[in-house]
A and B are shown apart, each in its own frame.
Chain A
Amino acid sequence: MVRDITIGQYYPAKSVVHRLDPRVKLVSTLLYLISLFLFRSISGYLVATIFLVTVIRISRVPFSFIVRGLKPVVLLLMITVLFNLFLTRSGDVLFHAWIITITEGGLVTAVYMAVRLIYLIIGSSLMTFTTTPNELTDGIEALLHPLNKIRVPVHEVAMMMSIALRFIPILLEETDKIMKAQIARGADFESGNIIQRAKSMIPILVPLFVSAFRRANDLAMAMEARCYRGGEGRTKMKPLHYKHRDYTAYAIVIIYVIAVFAIGRYLPLHIWIF
């Protein structure tokens, strides 16, 4: 089950996208997500599609892997599509039966919405596929660095993120072991109403919390023993430096955003089959 979720995973490959500075990828992803809301025309979608497909090809992440990442959100997608399909009333009526009415406007909005959501998810997961969790936290730390001035503990937050990333798999595995140990003692997690089920989680949650606190305590000690004393005076093993390719990437993304914006503004082409 847990293994099926590919969102947030790293996909190791040797590509230019993988080698880009994490800051470039974070900023670009953000810009791409914003760009998806700048247009309402098919030409806009065309540009966004070409851009996305090109980046996927360059990144060398297999398309099937990306599609697999969409599986867990299929239900959410369907709900959005159906809502838009049935509740938007504009333009010609295409279909009517009983209380169901589908209009041209509804169909268009539904399709647009679905595509937009899919691109949104693919766009952001492409970032995590091509960036290791560590690079990601380094990138976030560097980008948020100015917030240090208003006393936001940026380094500490980034450190917490990377520790969380390291311990999530360990705690998941531990949860599995605890569940098995309690099932062996006759615990039942599957039957009963919501309250009974919530109660049946206690035998899992208590050992899990006790263990998590113990780990936290051990880890804090180990970090202190290795002379950790916060971000001050600390050097970096992998400092972030913009390279030539990073500036090129920024330029391309900016050109893309301008293009999408211009098309949305000046070229509102509507080519419809109906």
Chain B
Amino acid sequence: MSIKLEHLNYVYSQGTAYEKKALNDICIEIPHGEFVGIIGHTGSGKSTLIQHLNGLIRATSGELYYNGENIYREGYSMRGLRNEVGLVFQYPEHQLFEIDVMTDVCFGPKNQGLSADQCKERALEALRLVGLKEKYYNVSPFELSGGQKRRVAIAGVLAMRPKVLVLDEPTAGLDPKGRDDILDQIAYLHRESDITVILVSHSMEDVAKYADRLIVMNKGAVMYNDEPKRVFEHYQELEKVGLAAPQVTYIMHDLAGRGIPVRTDVTTVAEAADEILRAVGS
């Protein structure tokens, strides 16, 4: 279930005065089962990029292969693609509409043509995966808290049993605890079910903890595409484009600069503590 983008370009409003190059020669490959983080600030092209993955936006030029098949070839079923690549948008408010949580989560499977029983089965499975308490299943989605709405929105897409789950800034507007809860839940989901997870965020700290690989976007192009440690080595370049490495990375660099023999490719607090104790504590 790999995704492969070859020299993909996208130009907004081509041929008008508002013409703007949103994606510039994107070449990336995402193998099945990976947890990928896509990072970039607002306007870097990250949202445009992920809308290509399920065919919501069609590239101006270049190719996109899903499972080795070119999705732009004539007769390719976009509907089929959207069943395989699930996309959860930033604001759950944009998709919740039914009278209760259960019915709302059933919307996707219903569109896939499943029977009422099958829909319910899928919905129950999805709601369990996102960790929503059972007492909320029959509550109106509009009465839920921000974090709970987010869970229902993710469940709504998971119920379609996608092979790839793309999440656009799933933590925006949540408080710190809510944010950690959702990210932990997504990590759990990735472990429990055999799916690829693509997480879009503008927070390095969030993504560094979970992703196997980071794709950093800047001005419509891929700036870095590597494992988190390698990406954060370029913390000064990241700074220049309005992104930042996790705070601990800076601390380790500062310490090394002051002559304390610590490794600098550290991205989490626990790692940093171990490393400092090793260097200083003994």
Contact = CB atoms under 8 A, between A and B. Distances in A.
State yes or no: do A and B touch (Cβ within 8 Å).
yes
Given A180-B56, A180-B89, A186 B83 contact: yes
B107 A202 contact: no
B225 interface: no
**Residue in B56, B82, B88, B93 with the greatest tally of chain A CB atoms within 10 Å:** B93
Contact of A210 (B83, B107, B112, B142): B142
Given A186-B108, A186-B112, A207 B13 contact: no
A178 B95 contact: yes
A174 interface: yes
B96 A207 contact: yes
A186 B82 contact: yes
Interface string A207-248: 100110000000000000000000000000000000000000
Interface string B225-248: 000000000000000000000000
B18 A203 contact: no
Contacts of B157: 184-185
Given A177-B89, A180-B89, A210-B142, A185 B97 contact: no
B94 interface: yes
A185 B111 contact: yes
A181 B89 contact: yes
Interface in B67-109: 79, 82-83, 86-89, 91, 93-97, 107-108
Contact of A185 (B13, B108, B142): B108
B84 to A, nearest CB: 11
Interface in B91-150: 91, 93-97, 107-108, 111-112, 142
Interface residues of B, number: 27
B45 interface: no
A207 to B, nearest CB: 5
B87 to A, nearest CB: 4
A182 B89 CA distance: 10
B203 interface: no
B38 to A, nearest CB: 17
A87 interface: no
Interface string B8-20: 0000010010100
B201 interface: no
Contacts of A207: 93-97
B156 interface: yes
Contacts of A74: none
B11 to A, nearest CB: 14
A207 B82 CA distance: 21
B51 interface: yes
**Residue in B88, B91, B160 with the greatest tally of chain A CB atoms within 10 Å:** B91
B87 A177 contact: no
Given A203-B97, A207-B96, A210-B93, A184 B16 contact: no
A62 to B, nearest CB: 11
A187 B16 CA distance: 31
A214 to B, nearest CB: 8
B54 interface: yes
A3 interface: yes
B10 to A, nearest CB: 15
A211 B142 CA distance: 11
B92 to A, nearest CB: 9
Contacts of A188: 111
A203 B104 CA distance: 10
Contacts of B160: 185-186
Given A178-B94, A203-B97, A184 B89 contact: yes
Contact of B95 (A3, A174, A185): A185
A180 B78 CA distance: 13
A228 B38 CA distance: 43
Nearest to B78: A183
Given A185-B160, A210-B93, 8 more contacts: A3-B16, A174-B94, A178-B95, A181-B94, A186-B108, A186-B160, A187-B107, A207-B97
The 5 closest A-B pairs by CB, nearest first: A186-B111, A206-B97, A181-B95, A184-B87, A185-B108
Interface of B: 13, 16, 18, 51, 54, 56, 79, 82-83, 86-89, 91, 93-97, 107-108, 111-112, 142, 156-157, 160
24 contacts: A3-B18, A177-B89, A180-B89, A181-B89, A181-B95, A182-B95, A183-B82, A184-B54, A184-B56, A184-B86, A185-B107, A185-B156, A185-B157, A186-B83, A186-B107, A186-B108, A186-B111, A186-B160, A202-B97, A203-B97, A206-B97, A207-B96, A210-B93, A211-B93
